[in-house]
Structure 1
């Protein structure tokens, strides 16, 4: 069985940090990635949408990957996101990522083109073959216009490299539909922050999270409590977290989450153009949400939840 078959838990989709002169800020990424590991996350995913993949050069993506691998030190799997406009470029990135030490990939369709089902599955099969490592299929029809349906997953299930799915259709019913279609063939992760507990309650085994970048301990606590059946405790934290989690479901999720990181973890909110940090009313709104959350931040259960 591949190592990837055992993926579960909290997998932060980490942000990419930049210096004031728009270079990769490796030292700040090392610090921020370490905060995630210290809080007990179960994996790291680099260079995704939240990681500003569309603005990164291929060599930068590999450098971010190597930074995360160095921080993880083999303690948790590190996945490289593969999102390219052509299958050829996606294959090249998968090959480079495998050579650099990635332990798996989170793969998107060949956006921005809206491929049909046969094109989509051909893209996934080609990228998986090129990388030769376990793949988490990322389904986000809301953002990318391509829906990887339970029927399509049934066809992809024949390839053992496909081991997980990040389900971000914004419809929690899809989790149950996946299980009904393919059983437990795939490790199902939720990819929508403000549907996370609902998804875990109906069988998802993991959460590809965004606000975890600023609140790793709270995110891990929700997952561990839900896993142990302590739903009332998980729900109390989740309800507190909800206004922050809503910031993930936005066209400006990068700017939102980077600002929350800056306010909570003393990082910075620098983005790569054309994105710019939030200003004016948009910035004030996020600052108010964070201020209220920090004033009412819940006390978490024992740190070693998994051991209880």
Structure 2
């Protein structure tokens, strides 16, 4: 029987953006301020090196630097999930073990994929997560996202949760997320320690209704999203709905307009970080989109615009 109270981790675990200088180098002082802001804004935990962290633009050495820098700077204030996705089973396992040894609380890993067409079938995906589990002793979150182009049925996810020791958390970002969460919980029972919401909280309210106990959102306004989750958890759906309705325009701006640069634009506008530029060749946000984002944010007065 599924029991949400058994979860080690729950609440809002936003993705930490990677901060660069205007010339594209890592900006570690800004990175530390970014983390401090996100903790002060009420994050229950953090996730680093995810797609919204521009992880696909980082070298292996930079991943190591960021993991070490952020985990040492967080210093146990909140748990940190480290994304260790890689197509290669051995490489992913090695990355994951290093992240664990540096202090990661959990790993987030997408199924193996590369480019538009390189995929593997369920037997290989199962073996991939089983070997990853054998290499570590912390929870593994499977990221079920369209970017992988890999269908992962609720039945397959539930089977892995039941049979693979450390597979216990699931970030569901596919179409019909609420229905999939319900089916995952029904089939997996108490093996599903953490059914989580993603996609910048655009589906948060129905996903909470479906049983989601965590949300991995963008990092710009956890102070806006956390109260929605808390009100829902306390059984006050009217308050949760009102708050969700209030913040939905900004959530929409991130999910559908500004994308992965949204958090950095908000942080730069508020003086949290020095530069919001992505790393080439990722395009910068259109100035009109940025203007609309900032206008929308100012109507809500999130901490990101005042923290610095």
* Same fold? TM cut 0.5: yes
Question: 1:165 is paired with a residue of what secondary structure?
Answer: strand
Kindly indicate whether residue 175 of structure 2 is the aligned counterpart of residue 173 of structure 1: no
Q: Which residue of 1 aligns with 2:222?
A: 216
Q: Is the 8 A contact 1:10 1:43 kept in 2?
A: yes
Aligned-pair CA distance for 1:65: 1.8
Kindly indicate whether residue 255 of structure 2 is the aligned counterpart of residue 255 of structure 1: no
- Where does structure 1 lack aligned partners over 5 or more consecutive residues? 300-308
Question: 1:136 is paired with a residue of what secondary structure?
Answer: strand
Q: Which residue of 1 aligns with 2:46?
A: 44
1:209-258 superposed Cα distances (whole Å, 9 cap, x missing partner): 11xx2212111111111111222222222112222222443596213343
For 1:159 and 1:179, locate their aligned partners in 2 and report how far apart those are by CA, in whole Å. Answer: 16
Q: Which residue of 1 aligns with 2:249?
A: 243
Taking a change above 3 Å as real, the CA distance of residues 292 and 134 of structure 1, as seen in their structure-2 partners, is closer
Taking a change above 3 Å as real, the CA distance of residues 90 and 21 of structure 1, as seen in their structure-2 partners, is same
Taking a change above 3 Å as real, the CA distance of residues 10 and 93 of structure 1, as seen in their structure-2 partners, is same
- Among 285, 288, 295, the alignment partner of 1:284 is 288
Taking a change above 3 Å as real, the CA distance of residues 31 and 18 of structure 1, as seen in their structure-2 partners, is same
- Where does structure 2 lack aligned partners over 5 or more consecutive residues? 1-5, 304-308
Normalization by structure 1: what TM-score?
A: 0.86
Q: Which residue of 1 aligns with 2:306?
A: none
Q: Is the 8 A contact 1:247 1:257 kept in 2?
A: no
Q: Which residue of 1 aligns with 2:280?
A: 273
- Among 135, 160, 167, the alignment partner of 2:140 is 135
Question: 1:209 is paired with a residue of what secondary structure?
Answer: coil
Taking only aligned residues, the RMSD between alpha carbons, in angstroms, comes to: 2.2
Q: Which residue of 2 aligns with 1:306?
A: none
Q: Which has the higher relative contact order, 1 or 2, with Cα contacts under 8 A spaced 6 or more apart?
A: 2
Q: Which residue of 2 aligns with 1:81?
A: 83
For 2:141 and 2:214, locate their aligned partners in 1 and report how far apart those are by CA, in whole Å. Answer: 12
Q: Which residue of 2 aligns with 1:150?
A: 154
Taking a change above 3 Å as real, the CA distance of residues 292 and 177 of structure 1, as seen in their structure-2 partners, is same
Q: Is the 8 A contact 1:241 1:293 kept in 2?
A: no
Q: Which residue of 2 aligns with 1:9?
A: 11
Q: Which residue of 2 aligns with 1:304?
A: none
Q: Which residue of 2 aligns with 1:124?
A: 129
Taking a change above 3 Å as real, the CA distance of residues 36 and 166 of structure 1, as seen in their structure-2 partners, is same
For 1:126 and 1:250, locate their aligned partners in 2 and report how far apart those are by CA, in whole Å. Answer: 36
Question: 1:79 is paired with a residue of what secondary structure?
Answer: strand
Aligned length: 290
Q: Is the 8 A contact 1:176 1:203 kept in 2?
A: yes
Aligned-pair CA distance for 1:43: 1.1
